[in-house]
Structure 1
Amino acid sequence: MQIFSTFEYSSYIELAISDLEKKGIKKEDIFIVPLNNRTEDRRIFDSLHRADGVSLIDLGMALATAFSVIGASIGFKLSWGPIYWGIISAFSGFILGLGIKIFMFKVIRKNQRLLRGKHSEVILIVDCHAADAEAVEQTLWKNLALGVSKVRPDGL
């Protein structure tokens, strides 16, 4: 039986391995695969088929609405009238909001990600007998595994 588990890259994976070795699992039956970190930056703009759930235009739309109301109100006193000044104000509010969001994602969140340090996960695969599977699974959960799954040799 094979047991797959994922861990954050920390000392807990070393503790899990030493606990498994104390329980009689041989070193040859333990396989560790570290995942690589992403090397390229994430794309800011989404395509038609891929979206990351982050909206860049929400603040721009809110500021466009607020600016257009204010611009239309002030436009009654100006020479071009409320419609033109409402459209000009909406456009400038949208550009301002879009600029703020792009600045936040490119500068502020990138710095936060660098300060926190983005560590990848580690996959731990343990080959064991079916009788030892429950003890191995409990050991992995006790050592803060992110996820654990068992695969029997017959494919079930």
Structure 2
Amino acid sequence: MQLISTFENNAFLELAISMLEKKGIKKENIYAVPLDNRKDERKVFDTIHRSDGTSLIDIGMALGTAFSVIGASIGFKLSWGPIYWGLIGAFIGFMLGFVIRLYTELVLKKKKRVLKGKQSEVVLIIECEEAQSELVENILWHHYALGVAKVK
């Protein structure tokens, strides 16, 4: 039987491997594979085939709505009227929100990714007897495995 689990690359992984060896699992039956980190930069703009789930226009829409209401309200006193000033306000608000969101994605989140230094995960494959599988699974969960799967 094989147990496959994923760990963050930290001391808990080493503790789990040493605990498995103490419980009778041979070194030859434990296989750890570190995953490679992403080398290329993530793209900011989505395509029709790929989306990262973040929207660049959400703040722009909210600010566009707010600025259009303000522009239309003030437009009653100005010469071009409320419709033109509402449209001008909507455009300015949308562009301001889009620039704010673009700045947060390109500058702030990039700094956070660099500072965080997220390491890749490690896949741990353990070959054991079916009688030992419950013990091995408990050891993996006790040492903060991200996920565990059994393959017979």
TM class by shorter chain equals over 0.9
Deviations 1:20-73 (A, max 9, x none): 111111111111000111112222122223222211111100110111111111
How far, CA to CA, are the matches of 1:133 and 1:76 in structure 2?
Answer: 76
Deviations 1:57-101 (A, max 9, x none): 111001101111111111122222111111111001100000000
Q: What displacement does 1:16 show? A: 0.7
Give the SS at the match of 1:141.
Answer: helix
Sequence identity of aligned pairs in percent?
A: 62
Unaligned 5+ segments in structure 2 are: none
How far, CA to CA, are the matches of 1:87 and 1:14 in structure 2?
Answer: 61
Amino acid at match of 1:83: I
How many residues matched?
152
How far, CA to CA, are the matches of 1:21 and 1:66 in structure 2?
Answer: 63
After TM superposition, the runs of 4+ consecutive aligned structure 1 residues lying more than 4 A away are none
Give the SS at the match of 2:32.
Answer: strand
Unaligned 5+ segments in structure 1 are: none
How far, CA to CA, are the matches of 2:135 and 2:76 in structure 1?
Answer: 77
Aligned 1:1-156 pairs, distance under 5 A: 1-152=1-152
* Aligned-CA RMSD value: 1.0
Amino acid at match of 1:118: K
Give the SS at the match of 1:42.
Answer: coil
Q: What displacement does 1:145 show? A: 0.7
